[in-house]
Amino acid sequence: MIQLEFLDHVALRVSDIHRSADWYASVLGMQVVQPDEWKPFPIFLLAGSSGIALFPARTETPQPLPQGDWIKGDHYAFRVQLPMLETAKQHFNKLGISYQEQDHTYFRSIYFKDPDGHQLELTAATRPLPDAA
């Protein structure tokens, strides 16, 4: 049986990798990493054990991401402590970033989008999940 440790990173295609790297650093406080061996891309962003690899979209006219229940990456969630949700909402309000809140019974979340429309989530546990079946 394969034993996974954690999801290491997701790779996103974006219209402007430098703009996106700046956005993820300033909005989510992620650390920007780009060793010389990787230039000109990807640009890697780190937060704890999680990462995002940014790659340029390979089109002159990027199309918006499809909405709805299509086969696609739906959203990318980052775990935070519950008090951090309030901090994030204040930060987003200052930056003019719109978000939606949702109570998932065991988690509270806020959803928002990056400059290319990728759906992101900050989620915090409010109580333990029931034991797995």
Stated as kind and residue range, the H or E segment containing 90 is helix 82-95
Identify which of 19, 47, 53, 20 has the alpha carbon closest to the alpha carbon of residue 35: 53
pLDDT digits (tens, 9 = 90+) for 57-114: 877 776 776 777 766 778 999 999 999 999 999 999 999 999 999 999 999 999 999 9
Please give the biggest Cα pair distance in the chain.
49
Spell out the domains of the chain, with CATH numbers in brackets.
1-58 (3.10.180.10), 75-133 (3.10.180.10)
pLDDT digits (tens, 9 = 90+) for 14-65: 989 999 999 999 999 999 999 888 888 899 999 998 999 999 987 777 677 6
Lookup result for tokens 């429309």? 117
- DSSP 8-state code for residue 33: E
